[in-house]
Amino acid sequence: MPLVNSLKMFEQAYKNGYAIGAFNVNNMEIVQGITEACKEENAPVILQVSKGARAYANHTYLVKLVEAAVIECPNIPIVLHLDHGPDFETCKACIDGGFTSVMIDGSALPFEENIAVTKKVVEYAHAHKPYVTVEGELGTLAGIEDEVSHAVGSYTRPEEVEEFVRRTGVDSLAIAIGTSHGAYKFKPEQCTRNADGVLVPPPLRFDILKEVAKRLPNFPIVLHGSSSVPQNYVAMVNAHGGKMPDAVGVPEEQLREAAKLPVCKINIDSDLRLAMTGTIREFFDEHPEKFDPREYLKPARANIKELVRHKLRDVLGCAGKADECR
C-alpha cells in the first residue's frame, strides 16, 4: 500500500487504547531496522524525519529510503512525517516533496504566533491532495542533545488546548508533561536511586494529560521525548569507551500507561541511537582489526530491530494492529 497520513492510525489507536511508534530515521540501516520489525510484528508505523535528518541525509535520499520500505513492507501502513518542522517553508517543502504528515513546532513562540503559523501550515496541508495531516505543539520540552530542545521546558497549560485546536484545525497535539529530548531527561537531583545505583526519575504529569484529554474528547495526543534510555545499552556504551554517566529516560511502564490513554503517537529516537552506538562501540572494542562498515552496521541494524520489536509489543501495544489501520 502507498504511504498514508495518520488519520486512520490515530482513530484506531484512540479507540483501542494503544499508541503508534514514531521513530526517527537518518539512514538506511535505521529505516530497515524499524520497518523489518514492523513487518514481523504486523504493526503500523510513523517514520519521522527532523530538520537535522534532512540536512544530514538529504530530503530525496530519505524519501526514497522510505519508499523502498513501502515496497518491502506492502501490508504495513507507513506514515512519512516531518518531525519538529521549524517554519511554514520547511513544512511546505515536505508536503510538496512527498511527506504524508508534518509537525509544525511553534511551541517556543507566543500563543498567538504559534496559532498563526500552525493555522497557515494546516490550511496548506489540508488543501493538498491527498490530505496531509498536521501535528501542533503546546508547551515546551527541555533537553540538551538535539536542535529542537530548549534549555528550560514548560508544561502544557490545559486551559489553552481547546482554543489552540479549534483555531488551528490541527489533527493531533503534542503536549509537555515532563518528558524531554535526549538521553539525560532528568537531572540526578530530580531522581532517587535504586539498589543498583540506577536513577529512578519522577513520574510524568498524568494529571495534565488527563485534563487535556477531558477537554479534547476523541482527539489524538502526542508525546515527544519518550525514549526510555535502556540501561543495558548505556552500560554497553560505557563499557566500550563511551562516557554517558547518569543517562536516564522515561520508564516504560509510564509510556504503556500513556498509550492506553489518548496518547496515540509516541516519539522515540534516542533509544535507537543508543542501540546503534553501543553495538558499534562493542564491535570495535572486540574487533579492532575490522574496517568494513557492513560488518559493524549489520549488528547495529539487528539491535535496532530487536529494540523496536520490544517497543511495539511491550510498550506501545500496536503489534498486530496493521490490518485495522489500513
List contacts with ligand 13P (CB under 6 A): 24, 83-84, 181-182, 224-227, 267-270
Closest CA to 317 of 18, 77, 21, 46: 18
CB of 44 to ligand 13P, least distance (A): 18
Three-state DSSP class for residue 62: helix
Binding site partner of 227, from ligand G3H, ligand 13P, Zn ion, none, Cβ cut-off 5-8 A by kind: ligand 13P
CB of 129 to ligand 13P, least distance (A): 27
Residue from the set 43, 80, 122, 148 that interacts with ligand G3H by CB under 6 A: 148
Q: How far apart are CA 85 and CA 89, in angstroms?
A: 9
Residues 170-189 that bind ligand G3H (CB under 6 A): 181
Backbone angles phi, psi at 209, to 5 degrees: -60, -45
Is 171 catalytic? The answer is: no
DSSP-assigned letter for residue 205: -
- Binding residues for Zn ion, total number by CB under 5 A: 1
Grid cell for residue 82: 516531518
Residues 197-226 that bind Zn ion (CB under 5 A): 224
Burial 236-255 (b: 16+ CB within 10 A, else e): bbeebebebeebbbbebebb
Residues 222-251 that bind Zn ion (CB under 5 A): 224
Query: x/- string (CB under 6 A) for ligand G3H, residues 239-278?
Result: ------------------------------x---------
Which residues lie closer than 8 Å to 95 by C-beta, 6 or more apart? 102, 124, 125, 128, 132
Pairing of strands 45-50, 20-24: parallel
According to DSSP, the residues that pair with 85 across neighbouring strands are: 104
CB of 317 to ligand G3H, least distance (A): 22
- Binding residues for ligand G3H, total number by CB under 6 A: 12
Peptide bond connecting 130 to the previous residue in cis, omega within 30 degrees of 0: yes
CB of 145 to ligand 13P, least distance (A): 7
The answer to whether residue 105 forms part of the interface with ligand G3H (CB under 6 A) is no
Q: Residue 8 belongs to what H/E stretch?
A: helix 7-16
Cell 489501520, residue located: 325
Residue from the set 39, 84, 265, 321 that interacts with ligand G3H by CB under 6 A: 84
State the residues that interact with ligand G3H by CB under 6 A: 24, 50, 52-53, 83-84, 146-148, 181, 224, 269
Residues with catalytic roles: 83
